Amino acid sequence: MSRSPRTRAQTRAAQQARAAHQSWLVARDLDEMSGWLNEAAFTAILLAALLDPDSRDAVTAALLADTPAESLHAHGPLTLQSAPGTVMDLVLGFGEQPDLAAVVIEAKRFESPSNWCWSAQGEWLCQTDVAVEDSTEVEPPGWLWGVHQGQVHDFVLVDAFSRPASTLFPGARHNHRWRTVGYASLGATLRTAHDCDTRGLVPLLTALWADSSHRF
């Protein structure tokens, strides 16, 4: 496993986004989470927000802001929220079979490594390539439970430093299939939703930049 690089510009932009977010928390008398908060813990908080009927629409909108609406929401409401624990962090599904439309999400934290794993075809590949190739299998592997061949419409990286797949996974086969949602845009969308009286977002908002003071 290799650590993912970042540029000075990406670091500076993340610092500015973090400062703006923390100022917003202070102005609303919200305490940022303290202590160690790794990728798995953050993903669990993100999943909880997706499971909460009060917050799921706002969180989904923040994660899928650049996804063509007709490719997902036209299939129906969010019906599948899966945290497979292998290959990818989250799998979301809209609608019901046989017309399900799915999204695969990998949530990178501040120092999350770029992982490699075995594909369904037995190739040792970076996890983003495994996700794309496994989704095309006639019978997708277990981590894509509930999803059929060809039903993954979007591949999303959630990254603190807004890094593209080509930075996180240099030389990967399918970087062009992935888009990135940075913490800056994620935080801005969630803050707006909270200020518009969307309930259930406080745990995610207070966790977003937690455990980051020593990451820059």
Tens digits of per-residue pLDDT, 90-144? 999 999 999 999 999 999 988 777 889 999 999 999 999 999 999 999 999 999 9
Residue range 156-170: mean pLDDT, rounded: 94
Give me the torsion for CA of 4, 147, 37, 24, rounded to 10°: 90
Does 212 fall in a domain? no
36 has a pLDDT exceeding 90 = no
Banded pLDDT at 2 (limits 50, 70, 90): very low
Q: Is residue 122 part of a domain?
A: yes
Q: Is the pLDDT score of 3 beyond 60? A: no
Contact 144, 85 (CB under 8 A): no
Q: Tell me if 214 is assigned to some domain.
A: no
Given this model, what pLDDT does residue 35 score? 87
Residue 155 backbone phi and psi in degrees, to 5: -125, 120
Judge whether 216 lies within some domain.
no
Q: Give the pLDDT score at 213.
A: 83
Mean pLDDT, residues 197-205 taken together: 98
- Region at 161 (left for phi over 0; alpha for psi -120 to 50; beta for the rest): alpha
Domain boundaries, position 100: 8-207
Q: The pTM is what?
A: 0.92
Query: Bigger pLDDT: 169 or 1?
Result: 169
Give percent above pLDDT 70 in the chain: 96
Q: What is the number of domains present in the chain?
A: 1
Residue 13, C-beta contacts closer than 8 angstroms, at least 6 positions apart: 161, 162, 184
Encode pLDDT of 49-88 as tens digits: 999 999 999 999 999 877 765 567 778 899 999 999 899 9
pLDDT at 128: 97
State percent of the chain over pLDDT 90: 82
Whether residue 189 is predicted with pLDDT greater than 60 in this model: the reply is yes
With 90 as the cut, is the pLDDT of residue 4 above it? Answer: no
State the pairing for strand pair 90-94/78-82: antiparallel
Residue 102: Cβ within 10 Å count: 24
The answer to whether residue 2 is domain-embedded is no
Instruction: Say yes or no to pLDDT of 214 above 70.
Output: yes
How many whole angstroms separate alpha carbon 51 and alpha carbon 54? 9
1 inside domain: no
pLDDT given at position 73: 74
Cα 78 from Cα 64, distance rounded (Å)? 12
Beta bridge partners, 155, equal 104, 178
For residue 87, give both structure tokens: 């290959």
Query: How many other C-beta atoms can be found within 10 angstroms of the C-beta atom of residue 2?
Result: 12
Kindly state whether residue 36 falls inside one of the protein's structural domains. Answer: yes
Mean of the per-residue pLDDT values for the chain?
A: 93
Tokens 């996804």 locate to: 67
Cis peptide before 203 (omega within 30 of 0): no
In a domain, 73, yes or no: yes
